[in-house]
Structure 1
Amino acid sequence: MNTLQVNVVSAEESIYSGRARFVALPGESGELGIYPRHTPLITRIKPGTVRIQDENGDEQLIFVAGGILEVQPNVVTVLSDTAIRGKDLDESKALAAQKEAEEALKSAKTEFDVALAQSELAIMAAQLAALRKYRQKR
C-alpha cells in the first residue's frame, strides 16, 4: 500500500507522527488534498482541521490555528503554533475564548486591536468547527 509520513508539530510538542494514505487541510487558497508522491510544496495554512487518513483507513482530526505546510513526495509536515488533537478539544474553553475575543473587538481602539480580535475570532470559529467535525466522526 502506498503511504506517506505525516508529522504535525505544535510549538509545544509533536501532535501526530505516522504513516497515512491521505491528508486534507485548509490552505490559504482553499482545501488541499495530499496523496503519496505529491509535488513538493510549501504554503501557509489557515485555521481549521487537518484530516489524516492513517494507513489503517481510520481518520484522525487535528485542529491547527494556521501555520506552515511542507510537502515532499513521501513526507508531509505541518508546523503550527497551536495544534490540538480532536479528542482534546474543549468546547467550554473555546466558547470562553470566543466571547473574550468578541469583547476585545467591541472595545478595540486601534486598527491593530481590531485585526487582532478578528484573527482570534476566526481561530475560535475554526476550533469550534473542528470540534463539531470530531463529534460527527465518533
Structure 2
Amino acid sequence: MTASDANRLPLDRAIPVRELGLIAMDMDSTAITIECIDEIADFAGVKAEVSAITASAMRGELDFQESLRRRVACLEGLSTDVLRGVYEARLQPSPGLDELMRFAREHGVKTLLISGGFTYFTERMRARFGYTYTRAN
C-alpha cells in the first residue's frame, strides 16, 4: 500500500471516534510545513552542511544519533534568537492541523507530537495547539 492508497481508504475501514485513544504525529514536515533544523541552519548560514548530513542519514550512511550530533555541532553557539526567528518567521502548521487538533479536543482524544528535533519548538507547538504530550531532544 502506498501513501496515496492510504489517503483513499474506504470510510468503512475508518476507526470509530469512540475507539481513538491517541493521535500521534511527527512534527517536522508533518504537523508543520518545514524541517526546523534546516531552517535554523539557513538562519545560521550553514544550511548546505546540515542538509548534506541529513541526506547522508537518509541514505543510511549515518545513524540518527550520529546525524543529530553532527548537525547540532554545525549549530553550536547559536543564540535562542535564531530559534525564535525560525519559529516566528517560518514555522507554519500544515493544512488541516487546526481542525485535527480541534476535533481531538472536542472528542477527548489525546495527542502526541514527536520530533527528532528540539523541545524549543515542540513546547511552543504544545502551547499553541494544545497537544497532550510532546517528545523531542
TM-score (norm 1): 0.23
Larger radius of gyration: 2
Query: Greater strand share, 1 or 2?
Result: 1
Query: Greater helix share, 1 or 2?
Result: 2
Of structures 1 and 2, the one scoring higher in RCO (CA 8 A, sep 6+) is: 2
